[in-house]
């Protein structure tokens, strides 16, 4: 069975819809076909056959070609010398598509690779595109790609809307177990009912599988998301962004390594391994970031090694690491202050967690099992909603 991303079924499904239209594309460097050719070139190849024109290309955080390395770095719209159409930033002055640009577009095609975690901003770029189109006559085609950390496992609290931000605009759990087509369908059903939404599912996707068990093409969707191990730890390790501890940006293993100059890595390693359930092992690690936190300084800490991915709970692991840092390094550990991802008042850790109470429980030393029990009810309610929008059973 040939596994192909949704974009390869565009002309099989919607050739009549495209005929004579002016297209806008939402893509980045990971928007590739099975042969690793890019979606832009794929659509250019058939524009005369199907009589359409590409009028604009829009890109998310990190740019259309993934050129902005660090986190929360805006990029500006520009004219690429190889193309006659402009490249517009949706991570800067505009996060929605301005009405004056939409006047020259008849249809939008969204083709971005998500990583299965609420914090990852590409699904919120999708939400902003849907908000831009809601109530217009402009159709949106969403092309699907695999959830690299499987489409079954779901973990963490559901976003409290008082903590809505660009790392969580609408209610989703931390690890959502959905694809972008499923999320788009959920968004339409609850938040953007008047969007003219068309879906392009993948062929033969098994939602129980991980990225490395599939043959769908994979290109790192952002500079610090190189592969399956990074994506697997990310639902927990991303929380470290909201602290004065390095989450490994500026190393070759971002989010897999965690540390700071004031951490005793051996002490932290022994502590975490003493409470580990065996699904992961923490290894003493020393690194020197080449950019971001502690650039050019020696950091001690840990590297997370996943021993059993079926039992590994990344969000739980992230909270346990945070609790250990608070307990062992109370004289040094600090939460970052805003701003963070276009939020200027709420604490970064609170908007990542999607609530304010978990931070407080961590500071009090509340056991993980007690913290988890507080979100089980809301997660169960969301699972019933989620079930209605799953495409791949």
Distance CA 294, CA 87 (A): 33
Closest CA to 14 of 136, 127, 107, 103: 107
CATH topology for 6-217? Rossmann fold (3.40.50)
Q: What is the predicted pLDDT for the residue at 327?
A: 97
What are the start and end residues of each CATH 3.40.50.12170 domain in the chain? 6-217
Average pLDDT (340-352) is: 95
Residue 1 has pLDDT above 70, yes or no: no
- Judged by DSSP in three states, 330 sits in coil
Average pLDDT (53-63) is: 96
pLDDT averaged over the chain? 96
Closest CA to 33 of 165, 196, 203: 203
Q: What is the predicted pLDDT for the residue at 252?
A: 96
Q: Going by C-beta distance under 8 Å and a sequence separation of 6 or more, which residues neighbour residue 366? A: none
Distance CA 5, CA 12 (A): 13
Q: pLDDT tens digit string along 90-114?
A: 999 999 999 999 999 999 999 999 9
Q: What is the predicted pLDDT for the residue at 206?
A: 96
Q: pLDDT tens digit string along 207-258?
A: 999 999 999 999 999 999 999 999 999 999 999 999 999 999 999 999 999 9
Instruction: Give the residue ranges of DSSP H helices in the chain.
Output: 10-18, 39-45, 47-50, 99-102, 122-133, 180-190, 228-237, 265-274, 314-328, 348-353, 357-364, 368-373, 376-387
In this prediction, residue 366 has a pLDDT band, given cuts at 50, 70 and 90, of very high
Residue 334 has pLDDT above 80, yes or no: yes
Residue 70 has pLDDT above 80, yes or no: no
What are the start and end residues of each CATH 3.90.1150.140 domain in the chain? 228-355
Q: CATH class for domain 228-355?
A: alpha beta
In this prediction, residue 81 has a pLDDT band, given cuts at 50, 70 and 90, of confident
Closest CA to 227 of 149, 152, 283, 170: 149
Work out the burial of residue 370: count CB atoms within 10 Å of its CB; fewer than 13 is exposed, 13-18 middle, 19 or more buried.
exposed
Distance CA 329, CA 228 (A): 30
Provide the angle, in degrees to the nearest 10, between the axes of the packed helices 314-328 and 357-364. 50
């Amino acid at each position: 069975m040939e596994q192909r991303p949704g974009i390869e079924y565009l002309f099989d499904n919607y050739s009549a819809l495209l005929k004579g239209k002016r297209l806008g594309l939402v893509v980045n460097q990971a928007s590739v076909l099975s042969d690793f050719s890019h979606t832009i070139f794929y659509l250019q190849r058939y524009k005369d056959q199907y009589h359409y024109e590409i009028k604009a290309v829009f890109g998310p955080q990190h740019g259309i070609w993934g050129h902005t390395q660090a986190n929360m770095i805006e990029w500006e719209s520009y004219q690429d010398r190889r193309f006659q159409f402009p490249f517009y930033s949706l991570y800067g002055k505009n996060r929605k598509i301005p009405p004056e640009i939409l006047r020259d577009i008849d249809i939008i095609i969204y083709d971005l690779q998500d990583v299965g975690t609420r914090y990852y901003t590409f699904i919120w770029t999708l939400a902003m595109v849907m908000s831009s189109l809601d109530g217009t006559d402009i159709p949106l085609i969403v092309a699907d790609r695999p959830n690299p950390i499987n489409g079954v496992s779901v973990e963490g609290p559901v976003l409290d809307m008082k903590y809505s931000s660009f790392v969580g605009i609408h209610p989703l759990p931390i690890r959502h177990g959905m694809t972008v087509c499923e999320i788009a369908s959920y968004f339409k059903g609850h938040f953007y009912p008047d969007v003219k939404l068309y879906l392009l599912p993948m062929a033969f996707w098994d939602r129980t599988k991980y990225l490395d068990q599939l043959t769908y093409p994979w290109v790192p969707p952002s500079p610090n998301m190189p592969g399956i191990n990074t994506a697997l730890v990310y639902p927990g390790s991303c929380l470290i962004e909201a602290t004065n501890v390095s989450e490994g940006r500026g190393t070759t293993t971002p989010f897999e390594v965690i540390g700071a100059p004031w951490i005793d890595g051996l002490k932290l390693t022994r502590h975490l391994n003493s409470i580990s359930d065996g699904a992961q092992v923490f290894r003493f690690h020393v690194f020197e970031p080449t950019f971001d936190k502690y650039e050019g300084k020696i950091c001690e800490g840990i590297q997370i090694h996943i021993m059993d991915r079926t039992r590994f709970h990344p969000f739980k692991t992230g909270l346990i690491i945070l609790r250990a840092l608070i307990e062992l390094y109370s004289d040094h550990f600090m939460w970052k202050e805003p701003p963070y991802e276009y939020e200027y008042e709420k604490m970064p850790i609170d908007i990542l967690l999607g609530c304010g109470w978990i931070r407080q429980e961590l500071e009090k030393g509340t056991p993980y099992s007690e913290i988890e029990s507080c979100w089980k009810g809301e997660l169960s309610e969301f699972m019933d909603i989620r079930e209605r929008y799953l495409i791949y059973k």
